[in-house]
Amino acid sequence: MAISKQTEIKQYAVLNCIFLLDNQDLSYKNIVLLLMYKNIVFKTNILLKMILSIIMCKHSSRVEEC
């Protein structure tokens, strides 16, 4: 079964986020990989937004907001 171009783009976006998470807390990366395995990632953009907010939060000086 062929995947749509939009799904393919989302897959690459998620993989890029996972590479960005390499220097972050490993538990976040495990959550992302689990969701990818369950095929939830490609049905919503919420996870991508969550990943980006985690990355931004980790690099923020306001840790208490995380």
Q: Of residues 64 and 11, which shows the higher confidence score?
A: 11
Return all residues near 36 (Cβ < 8 A) that are at least 6 apart.
Answer: 14
Helix ranges (H only) for the chain are 5-20, 26-37, 46-58
Region at 62 (left for phi over 0; alpha for psi -120 to 50; beta for the rest): beta
pLDDT band, residue 66 (cuts 50/70/90):
very low
Domain boundaries, the chain: 5-61
Q: How far apart are the first and last CA of the chain?
A: 40
- What digits encode the pLDDT tens for the residues 18-54? 666 655 566 666 766 766 666 655 555 666 667 667 7
pLDDT digits (tens, 9 = 90+) for 45-54: 666 667 667 7
